[in-house]
Amino acid sequence: GAVVSQHPSWVICKSGTSVKIECRSLDFQATTMFWYRQFPKQSLMLMATSNEGSKATYEQGVEKDKFLINHASLTLSTLTVTSAHPEDSSFYICSASGAGYQELFFGEGSRLTVL
């Protein structure tokens, strides 16, 4: 299957700083990427959907100005958590959809800890 890679796999930051998480499709062109957030012992909750070259569509309750998503190329999407606070600490997971593939491919996840 196709490979999706996230970086960094974990990050610790101080409250008030911004953190960028990258999601790359390594061997296919990802026309659509999805960002999920997973709190401990909970399920994956969709945050936003991004299509290459257009603005992301955010789920209800997700602040678009706090969670900036950029999908500037067919192989890269970034999620920037701006002015992070401890309650933003979570496991962030991306998945990608590409032409010719029926299934979605998930990244390894990025654990964010905000002190």
Partner 1 sequence: GQQLNQSPQSMFIQEGEDVSMNCTSSSIFNTWLWYKQDPGEGPVLLIALYKAGELTSNGRLTAQFGITRKDSFLNISASIPSDVGIYFCAGQLASGYALNFGKGTSLLVTP
DSSP 59: P
Given CA atoms 106, 31, 25, 83 in this order, what sign does their dihedral have? negative
* Nearest-approach distance from CB 83 to partner 1, in angstroms: 26
Q: Which is nearer to partner 1, 60 or 87 (CB)?
A: 60
Residue 56 binds partner 1, judged by CB under 8 A:
no
Reference 77, options 47, 52, 104, 46; nearest CA is 52
Which parts of this chain interact with partner 1 (CB under 8 A)?
A: 1, 6, 31-32, 34, 41-46, 49, 59, 91, 93, 95, 97, 102-104, 106-109, 111
